[in-house]
Amino acid sequence: MERQKEAILNSVTHVVKCVFPNTTNHYDTLFGGTALQWMDEVAFITATRFSRQRMVTVSSEKVDFKKPIPSGTFAELIGKVTMVGTSSLKIRVDIYIEHMHKNHRELAVSGEFIMVCIDEHKNAVPIQLA
């Protein structure tokens, strides 16, 4: 259990992206699909850092878009393991808006991703912490 707690702490992932015009829609805010892609990537990195095994996304749950993410801001994505199963992990990913020229940030998007550990034949296998 102690190794699991340590692995959870060590797998927390922070990624910061700049929201450029090529990632925005006609409202000058981040495309929802781009946000989901970034979140899935962070969930994958978090799960892999936790397990150090092959991990794949099997589902996403309740993604809440609370605030639009405008062009010209930073988006900080934070991934955390919130549940450990036999062969699966639940990863929560939050996106915070950080304004470039202000010392202020706020939660914009939250979602959960279920990741499963697989072998070389793409079959689910138990997570084995080193």
Q: From first to last of its 130 residues, what are the pLDDT tens digits of the chain?
A: 799 999 999 999 999 999 999 999 999 999 999 999 999 999 999 999 999 999 999 999 999 999 999 999 999 999 999 999 999 999 999 999 999 999 999 999 999 999 999 999 999 999 998 7
Check residue 1 and give its pLDDT: 79
pLDDT at site 129: 87
DSSP state of 129: -
pLDDT of residue 79: 98
Domains and CATH numbers, the chain: 2-117 (3.10.129.10)
Maximum distance among all Cα pairs of the chain, rounded to whole angstroms: 49
Residue 130 has a pLDDT of 73
CA dist 100 to 16, 64, 73, 74, 97, Å? 12, 24, 6, 7, 9
Write down the pLDDT at residue 24.
Answer: 96
This prediction's pTM: 0.95
Helix 2-11 with 32-51: angle, nearest 10 deg: 140
Q: What is the reported pLDDT for 15?
A: 98
